[in-house]
Each structure stands twice: as C-alpha cells, then as structure tokens.
Homo-oligomer: A and B are copies of this chain.
Amino acid sequence: MSSSKPDIYNDVDPFFNPRRVALVGASTDYRKLGNSILMNLLSSEIEIYPISKSSDRILGTKVYRSLSEIPNPVDLVIIAVSAKYCPDLMAEVKQAGASHAIVISGGFSETGPQGFELEQKLVIAAKKAGVRIVGPNCVGISNSRLFNGTFTMMPERGNIALLSQSGALGGMMIYTTRAKRIGISKFASIGNAADIGFVDILEYFRNDPRTKVIAIYIEGVENGKKLFESLRRASREKPIVILKGGRSEAGGRATQSHTGSLAGETRVFDGMVKQAGCVSAPTLDSLIEICKLFDYQPLPKGRNIGIISNTGGAGVLATDAASSLGLAIPSLESETTRELRQVLSPMASIGNPIDVVASGGRREYRVTTELLLSDPNVDMLLVICAVPTFAGMTQTEHAAGMLEGVRSVESDKPVVGVWLSGDVGKPGKDLLEMNRIPCYDDPFLASLCMSKITEYAYLLQRHAHS
C-alpha cells in the first residue's frame, strides 16, 4: 500500500507506525524522562521492550539489560540516556533490527561547541549504521491511533497533525487540544533535527491518509526554498496553518537563543506562506481553532457570510469582525426575507445580520438556519446565541434548533456557532461541537477562523487555475 508513496514516506513511517519499540533509558525514577516515556509507551497495544542496567522490572514490565538481549527484532528504538552514550548506541540499534531511532536526550548542539561535536558524531554513527534519527533534544513522536513515543500526554484521536519547532509548545498544544476535545492525528517534535527535518515530516504528513489538516509552529529554517516547495505541494492537498515565532525584532533575537534559528524578515516569510498556499495564524490560540474549523467543516465557495443572532449587539460585533477580516455581508434573496418575515417575531431584524430577538427559540433557530443555508447569496453561516436564558428556554434548545436546520438542508456550506454566556452556554456549545460544528466564545475568533478557511479556498482556486 505504502509502496506508491514517495521514498520519504517509507523512510519516516516507522517513526509513526512501529510494531515493536525498545526504550533505552527506562527508569523507575519519576523525575526522569525515561519513566514518563515508558508509562506512555505501556499504555499502547504494541510490544514494548524497556532497557535499563539498574532494574529488572519497571512499572510491572520485564526489563532488558541491553538492546542485544531483546528476543525479537524491534523496528523503533527510543533513546533517553546521557548524550555521550548516544553515538555508540547506533550500531546496537541496527543490530536490534531497527533502522529508526528517536533520540530524546538533550546535551547536543543546543548546548554549545562540545555538544555540536557530539551531535556530529551521532549523525555519522547513525549514517554508518544505516539508522535514521529524529532528534536529538526532542519531545518525541506520537500517533494518536497507535502509540505515544514522547514524555508528554497522548493526544485525542483526530485529523490534525502537529509539527512544532518548539517541542514544549507542541506539547502544550496537545494539552490544549485535549482540554478542548480537538482530535490530533500525529505529533512530531524534531528537536535539533540532526537527520529527519521539518520538510521530511511535512512530506510525511502530506501523504498521511489520517491527516486532514497540518498545524505548524515555526521560528526559522535553514533551507527556505526547500520548505517553500514542500509547503506548496502539501497545501494543494490539505490545508496548512502556520504560526510564526520571532516576528518582531526582539522576538527574532529570542529565537536565536531558543531554536538557534534566524527568524528572517517577517514580511518575506508572510509572502512566502501566502505564495505557498498556506494560511497564517495570528496567535497560538487561533492556530488550533482555525485547524478545528478546517477539520470539521467544508470550504466555502465564496466570501459571503450569513449571520444569525438572538441579540442585535452580538450580531453587530460579528458583522464588524467579519467585515474587518475581508468577508462580505450579503443581502439576502427576497424570497428568504419574505419567508423569514412569516416565521420570525415582528420585532426581529430580517436583514443580514438577522436578529431573531430574545423570544426566538428552537424553531426560529431551525428555520432561520435552513433559510440562510438555502439562500444562494450565502456561502457560509455564523450562528450566535447570546441571550443566556429567556422564558424557560435554554441555549441547548437553540443549539438543537440550529443543528436540525443544518441537517435538514444538508448543505456543503461551512457553519460555525458562537455560544456566549460562559458555563451556562456550555451544554449548547458541547452539543454543537459533538456534531462537528465548531463553537466559539467570541464573535471575533469565529469570524477570524471563517476568514482563514475562505482565504485557503481562494488560494486553492488560484492553484487550480495556475
């Protein structure tokens, strides 16, 4: 099956889809990474072989003294021992049957000239042994459907691949997506990227059938042209959302002491991202939220947004946000307006944005959603519920009404919710999200996400015609 995939896919695949994994540096000490990694590995269904010189059993599992003692050939070795031992381990990795190793250990080029030399030695040893490596100085690799080869939390299963130049920030994104119940397909932290690099992982994610959207945190790259080509190829197949660190002069200086990257000219980078057909996220929070919308909803055919609310104020704010972000607020078809007038309260505003007013409940949300999704002037729909409780109605009923409306039309237009009111709005919000309608706490964030998927839809069209 994977034979039709490019070489790099097959080169990288064992990092994500191993059947037997050895961990060199397994530990009983909860302060050691080798303890966290083993805990994570043992929660998967694949075969795990911990290696340690100091214990016979760890976490109830048999421990081997060295890679050579493992009875079966392994296809991936994870290494979490002192840096100085790593180069010599490469030959053993190969002897144990593996051509792939994740080197979690730090203490390489990130520490200075001595570490740089050690990293060179590691690379040479790996090449000589015929072993591809991810790392060193990384958080590791996880595949939410198979195993967690990191010292951070396992993500929820889903369709968004995470590629972060900052391992910790990548780990943070896993925690955040778990709290928000957003699913991740695969996570890669490549650390110093001594062998497998950013572009290799990107190419892998492009070819990965489980990945629908790619989220990237990047500070800088050595080979901009190669990255550009890779982004351009990948963005034609799936949306790529990029958050760039080091945009400011001060931030750029900081990236040098962080990943050692030259952040480069921001405007040049922004231009490259757009030319490559990718969209950029302005903040960490929005990076995840934009990816969620790409994952859950189809792309719009144009930039016309329909807005429904039960209070004028929130409709006004969404209209302001959408307009400022390049979306258009179209007039509705006269037939839509006529039908809305029949259904809604005389107090309602039936222009766009539509205000069904506080008395508008499940029925009004259903019918208005239906009518707007059926209107040829509307390319996408943003539905707000801002009145917390009214006359015994709850925001869950409004959400149910909206959902009924979306289902009865079966349109291919993207739809998002903005369920305001804190904890009181949560059940309604959860109902929508469980049905893959992204639901936001703020009209601006919802509009921002809509504007980003619209931008991508246009970039794709341009691609198609170029």
Give A contacts to B, CB under 8 Å: 30-33, 36, 106, 110-111, 151-153, 164-169, 171-172, 175-180, 217, 219, 243, 245-251, 253-255, 257-259, 282-285, 310-317, 319-324, 329, 346-347, 349, 351, 353, 355, 358, 386-392, 420-425, 441-445
Q: Is the CB of B313 within 8 A of A152?
A: no
Instruction: Select which of B246, B313, B347, B358 is within 8 A of A320 by beta carbon.
Output: B246
Q: Is the CB of B347 within 8 A of A312?
A: no
Beyond the given A168-B311, A176-B420, A283-B317, could you list 14 further A-B residue pairs with CB under 8 A, ordered by the A residue number?
A: A32-B391, A166-B311, A167-B311, A168-B310, A168-B386, A169-B311, A171-B387, A172-B311, A245-B313, A245-B317, A251-B319, A254-B316, A258-B313, A258-B315
Residue of B nearest to A168 (CB): B311
Q: How far is the CB of A421 from chain B (nearest CB, A)?
A: 4
**Residue among A165, A249, A283, A425 with the most chain B CB within 10 A?**
A283
Q: Assembly of this chain: how many copies?
A: 2
Q: Is the CB of B250 within 8 A of A179?
A: no
When A285-B445, A347-B110 are in contact, do A329 and B175 touch as well, CB less than 8 Å? no
Could you tell me the distance between the alpha carbons of A155 and B312 in the complex, rounded to whole angstroms?
A: 22
Contacts of A424 in B (CB 8 A): 153, 175, 179
Q: Is the CB of B172 within 8 A of A420?
A: yes
Q: Is the CB of A258 within 8 A of B110?
A: no
Contacts of A178 in B (CB 8 A): 422-423
Could you tell me the distance between the alpha carbons of A167 and B312 in the complex, rounded to whole angstroms?
A: 10
When A257-B351, A329-B250 are in contact, do A175 and B323 touch as well, CB less than 8 Å? no
Query: Can you list 20 pairs linking A and B with CB atoms under 8 Å apart?
Result: A30-B392, A166-B314, A168-B314, A168-B387, A172-B386, A172-B388, A172-B420, A175-B420, A176-B441, A178-B423, A248-B320, A248-B322, A248-B324, A250-B320, A250-B322, A250-B329, A254-B312, A258-B355, A283-B444, A284-B420
Could you tell me the distance between the alpha carbons of A31 and B390 in the complex, rounded to whole angstroms?
A: 7
Contacts of A313 in B (CB 8 A): 164-166, 168-169, 217, 219, 245, 258-259
Q: Is the CB of B31 within 8 A of A316?
A: no
**Residue among A171, A180, A243 with the most chain B CB within 10 A?**
A171
Contacts of A445 in B (CB 8 A): 283, 285
Contacts of A245 in B (CB 8 A): 313, 316-317, 320
Q: Is the CB of A315 within 8 A of B422?
A: no
Q: How far is the CB of A291 from chain B (nearest CB, A)?
A: 15
Could you tell me the distance between the alpha carbons of A388 and B172 in the complex, rounded to whole angstroms?
A: 6
When A257-B312, A315-B254, A353-B254 are in contact, do A175 and B388 touch as well, CB less than 8 Å? yes
When A153-B388, A353-B254 are in contact, do A219 and B316 touch as well, CB less than 8 Å? yes
When A248-B323, A386-B169, A442-B285 are in contact, do A351 and B391 touch as well, CB less than 8 Å? no
Could you tell me the distance between the alpha carbons of A231 and B284 in the complex, rounded to whole angstroms?
A: 35
Residue of B nearest to A386 (CB): B172
Residue of B nearest to A321 (CB): B283
Q: How far is the CB of A220 from chain B (nearest CB, A)?
A: 10
Could you tell me the distance between the alpha carbons of A95 and B118 in the complex, rounded to whole angstroms?
A: 91
Residue of B nearest to A350 (CB): B257
**Residue among A152, A313, A389 with the most chain B CB within 10 A?**
A313
Residue of B nearest to A283 (CB): B444
Contacts of A33 in B (CB 8 A): 391
Contacts of A283 in B (CB 8 A): 317, 321, 442-445
Q: Is the CB of B422 within 8 A of A176?
A: yes
Could you tell me the distance between the alpha carbons of A283 and B317 in the complex, rounded to whole angstroms?
A: 8
When A217-B313, A388-B152, A421-B172 are in contact, do A323 and B259 touch as well, CB less than 8 Å? no
**Residue among A167, A250, A387 with the most chain B CB within 10 A?**
A250
Q: How far is the CB of A343 from chain B (nearest CB, A)?
A: 17
Instruction: Select which of B168, B254, B311 is within 8 A of A351 by beta carbon.
Output: B254
Residue of B nearest to A169 (CB): B313
When A257-B312, A284-B442, A422-B176 are in contact, do A168 and B319 touch as well, CB less than 8 Å? no
Contacts of A246 in B (CB 8 A): 316, 320
Contacts of A323 in B (CB 8 A): 248-251
Could you tell me the distance between the alpha carbons of A175 and B389 in the complex, rounded to whole angstroms?
A: 10
